[in-house]
Amino acid sequence: MLVAHMSDLHLGYSQFNLEEREEDVYETFLEAVDISIKERVKLAVIAGDIFHTPRPNGRATFKLAEGLKRLKEKQIPAAFILGEHDISRLRDVPFAYVFGSLGLARRLRLDEPLVVDGLAVFGANKERRNNIDSLVNNLQQAGKLAERHAGKRMLVLHQGLSDFNKFAGEMNSTDIPASFHYYALGHYHDHIEKRFEHLGGPLVYPGSLDLTPSEGIKEVEKGFALVDMSGEEASVNWVPLHRRPQFKATIDYDTIAEGIQGIVGKAKSLAKKPVVRVEIAGRNIDSKVIAANLVRLNDACLHYVWQPLEQEQPMQVYDERPADLDAELLRLSKEALGSDELASLAINDLLGPAAAGDAGEALEIAWEAFKRRAGP
């Protein structure tokens, strides 16, 4: 039995507020759906962060419906849980539940599994740190319930594990019951696969389907997992998707014309216009000289930003589009805090509740991170 495991779709997100980048996100999702259909999966699982915001725009809603409809037309059931981006702080009904009501997808639960071809699938929505103890207790109960099922068993969660990031994790792998043959996780945007001795099968984060705000511009593959549950042990095949290229180019200020020409040549060899970060090494950099040369990228690149390497100067963009503010914020946090992990904690975990005025959650996140760092 083959299962498609996707996570962190973030439908509706548009990098740099570009319509083309929003469309890119939809294309990767629909490509994952089409590959799943071609491979004849028996079930498609979405492990949270379906939308980028709890109140998605109409196009994001339409594209999700299109993907789910394609699956249903091929008699492939879809199941989902919610991530933090899907859950409104106003305690409104999550938008994704509409698709459950329409019969296009099934919301997973811990107290009542979805059973497809003998596979029992349990799942839980994202829980905040202040409710982790309750989640762990419910997981233990679900583990006992799963043991009564004679066939294969899968658990779907959208949580960060401290095993992979001690600052961003809300729980440990030891909090998860060993009663399952596959652990389908979402939340971390990198592709992670690991087998723990204390768990009954592989634990997998397939990663986001495209780059998201905290990742900035980088050359990296994105994809989803096809999981074969028919053998004694679950077998995972991670499938990369076709995406708009993004890359970093470092050039020397003294030979800037040649460096820009090299970027143009690379960009024109690609199937889609890329997104590029240009790092310029040198001293006594003249912004007017750089602007005059960077304009040559306008026709070859969808978007670009530049940054000096050896001179304090703010990031600038010369195509009249916004700079990569998310990546710049993360970069400045790293400089201020002197740590990638602390910067990730500040931007990815603390910034959201702090901006929303939820001082209680922000303090709890900071306190939990301090306790993990301080140790026993």
Q: What is the pLDDT of residue 319?
A: 45
Question: pLDDT, tens digit, for every residue of 181-222?
Answer: 999 999 999 999 999 999 999 999 999 999 988 788 989 999
pLDDT at 358: 54
Residue 318 pLDDT > 70: no
Average pLDDT over residues 174-183: 96
pLDDT at 332: 72
* Average pLDDT, integer, range 146-171: 92
Instruction: Say what the pLDDT of residue 354 is.
Output: 64
**Residue 58: pLDDT above 90?**
yes
Q: Are 72 and 85 in contact (CB under 8 A)?
A: no
Q: Is the dihedral of CA 301, 307, 310, 311 positive or negative?
A: positive
> Does position 339 have pLDDT exceeding 90, yes or no?
no
What pLDDT is stored for residue 250 in this prediction? 94
Helices (H), 230-348: 256-268, 287-294, 325-337, 340-344
Least confident of 2-6, 189-193, 327-331: 327-331
End-to-end CA distance of the chain: 43
pLDDT at 268: 95
What's the gap between Cα 355 and its chain centre? 21
Quote the percentage of the chain above a pLDDT of 70.
Answer: 84
Mean pLDDT of 241-257: 94
Average pLDDT value for residue range 244-249: 95
Per-residue pLDDT band for 276 (boundaries 50, 70, 90) equals very high
CB of 306 within 8 A of CB of 287? no
Confidence of residue 355 (pLDDT cuts 50, 70, 90): low
78: enclosing H helix or E strand: strand 78-81
Residue ranges of the alpha helices (H) in the chain? 19-38, 58-73, 97-101, 132-146, 256-268, 287-294, 325-337, 340-344, 351-355, 359-374
* pLDDT surpasses 50 at 239: yes
* DSSP strand pairing (223-228 vs 202-205): unpaired
**Antiparallel, parallel or unpaired: β 153-158 and 235-240:** unpaired
Query: 376 is written with which tokens?
Result: 């026993």
How far is Cα 370 from Cα 303, in angstroms, rounded to an integer? 39
| Closest to 162 in 3D by CA, of 356, 359, 354, 341 | 341
Parallel/antiparallel/unpaired status of strands 202-205 and 192-195: antiparallel
